[in-house]
Amino acid sequence: MNVKKLILLIFSLPLFALNISVTILPQKGVVKAIGGEKAKINVMVPPGNSPATYSPEFSKLKAVKNSQIYFTIGVPFDKKYLNKIKEINPSIEVVDFGKWIKKENNNPHIWLSPALLMLQAKVVLNTFIKHDPQNKEYYIQNYLKYVDSLKNLEKEGFNIKQKAFITFHPSFYYFAKDFLIKEIAIEKEGKSPSFSYLAKIIKIAKQNKVKTVIISPEFPTKYAKIVAAKIGAKVIIISPLNEDPRITIKKLIKALK
């Protein structure tokens, strides 16, 4: 290979300014939107797994060894493994994705609210600028584009007609709060419902004229299907753990319009 071709190859390779680790896939979507090609992102909980139950092998935990930053978000995985991650990489900076967000009922699903995503994006922006100030303008431009896309989603969300929906796990609580919708969760205190509680949910669903039951593939589906059959509602499958939270939010808006 001649010198000219070698130089072209070197400059065509992405230069990663920062090595980042995040807990779940939706965080990767936010970090990628702000960091672009200047961030290499490691996701601790692989696609298809629940951050409430996933147990990583030690080789997976070692993946954070070269990371400069670890973004937590408050899911059970963080609480269980954060100390181990700090042992593996004592110099890693731990940054809370929900730094300026007061979580309600210990519900960590803050990535499905456009308003709260804007706050999370600001946390990512500030962290990138702190660690890589020479690329400040690059990160700011990416941040502004991301916020604009979230503002457009907010406009769409306020056109939702349905005022209540049912789901098994309260993954969509902050989405519902953003758009003044009632989320009715079948799960009670992290456990499957009793038949008497299920009957209560069916009664509440009828009172609220619920037309949609949202099933997440990461959680049990049989109870949601029972409720849907009893009230004549449509069943829609939406995962709260897609890489780009904006796609999930768009799917929710479409399902409830």
Q: Residue 118 and residue 4: Cα distance in Å, rounded? A: 43
* pLDDT, position 5: 52
Pick from 212, 114, 89: which is nearest to 162 by CA?
Answer: 212
Residue 2: band (very low, low, confident or very high) from pLDDT cuts 50, 70, 90: low
Phi/psi region, residue 190 (left: phi>0; alpha: psi -120 to 50; beta: rest), is left
pLDDT in tens, 64-121: 999 999 999 999 999 999 999 999 999 999 999 999 999 998 899 999 999 999 999 9
Domains of the chain: residue spans and CATH: 3-156 (3.40.50.1980), 161-256 (3.40.50.1980)
Burial class (CB in 10 A: 0-12, 13-18, 19+), 50: middle
User: What is the percentage of the chain residues whose pLDDT exceeds 90?
Assistant: 81
Q: Residue 204 and residue 193: Cα distance in Å, rounded? A: 14
